[in-house]
Chains A and B, each alone.
Chain A
Amino acid sequence: MNIVNFTPISALSGGLLIGLSVALFFTLNGRLIGISGIASSVIVSKDRRVDNFLFLFGLILGPVFYNLIFGKEINISISNSIILLVAAGALVGFGTRLSNGCTSGHGISGISRFSLRSIIATITFMLIGILTVSITGVL
């Protein structure tokens, strides 16, 4: 194993902002952020639909504000295989809805409240993610 591209300061700073968002949403609106839950609610539930929609709209505004504040371009590198994108997107959507949480809902909000369910979910999707990358990296 080699350690590469390690950027702990930006990772920690971004993480603190994510934690701040979770903390504000909980103390002000009384809910714990889980993005798969918020996003799937928009299409399958009428419950707090406007709040959920506005949160998602805010997420999309995030990069716009980042650009205005820091004046930096955002570069991402993502697969361009349509089959892979469709399969992975469907797996992520189906899986997070079935287990009621994703990286934010289980990984941050759930672990914050010491939920055993969320700890087990987080360990599972992390290990499977590692396994998947290990397999596709060899292919």
Chain B
Amino acid sequence: MSKIVSLVCGIIFGIGLVISEMINPEKVLGFLNIFRDWDPSLAFVMIGALIISTPIFHLFKNNNKPLFLPSFSIPTNKEIDKKLIIGSIFFGSGWGLVGLCPGPAITSLALLNISSIIFVLSMFIGFYIASKYN
């Protein structure tokens, strides 16, 4: 069952990225362009997601187990370290250069756009290089 859940959650997430237009880099760059022509829409994507995920997380986090797997897996790292800050700076600059973050980038592969494919391949190379540091 966990495999079906993974697939279905991916589909729902992907449809959400399309409807909200997070999949469109132009929209993302418009959101980050606060000093000139600002498109605040993407703040509402975050609000929409958080008003569902926040209460559900806190309602279920103390349960013994999720429905289909033996245990919950919740990140335990609380350290505010250099890796967190430097990683976020790298990520923010790449995000601001093209307007794609990992979810929308992978989702946009469905459009068979050559730019998306180049971005995603480079992103996986970045994952691989960073995994050598962790």
* Residues of chain A with a CB closer than 8 A to B113's CB: 76, 78
Q: Which residue of B lies closest to A77 (CB)?
A: B26
What is the bound-complex CA distance between A74 and B93, given in angstroms? 26
Chain A nearest Cβ from B36, distance in angstroms:
6
Whether A112 contacts B54 by the Cβ 8 Å rule is yes
> Size class of B's contact patch?
35 or more
Contact (A82, B118) CB under 8 Å given A18-B13, A93-B126, A95-B91 = yes
Q: Are A77 and B24 in contact (CB under 8 A)?
A: yes
Chain A's interface: helix, strand, loop or mixed, by majority?
A: helix
List, in ascending order, chain B residues with CB within 8 A of A57's CB: 7, 10
What 1/0 flags go to B83-122 for Cβ under 8 Å of A? Answer: 1111111111111111111110111111101011011111
Contact A92 B102 (CB under 8 A): yes
Instruction: Please encode chain A, from 11 to 53, with 1 for each CB lying within 8 Å of some chain B CB and 0 for all others.
Output: 1111111111111111111111101100110011000001110
Q: With a CB–CB cut-off of 8 A, which chain A residues contact B75?
A: 32, 100, 110, 115
Total number of A residues with any Cβ neighbor in B under 8 Å: 110
Taking a contact as CB atoms under 8 Å apart, the answer to whether A59 and B107 are in contact is: yes
Q: Is the CB of A92 within 8 A of B34?
A: no
Best-surrounded residue of B1, B20, B24, B72 (most CB of chain A within 10 A): B20
B residues in contact (CB < 8 Å) with A: 1-3, 5-27, 29-30, 32-54, 56-58, 60-61, 65-69, 71-75, 77-80, 83-103, 105-111, 113, 115-116, 118-131, 133-134
7 more CB-based (< 8 A) A-B contacts, given A33-B9, A58-B11? A11-B45, A13-B19, A15-B48, A77-B26, A88-B100, A94-B130, A107-B46
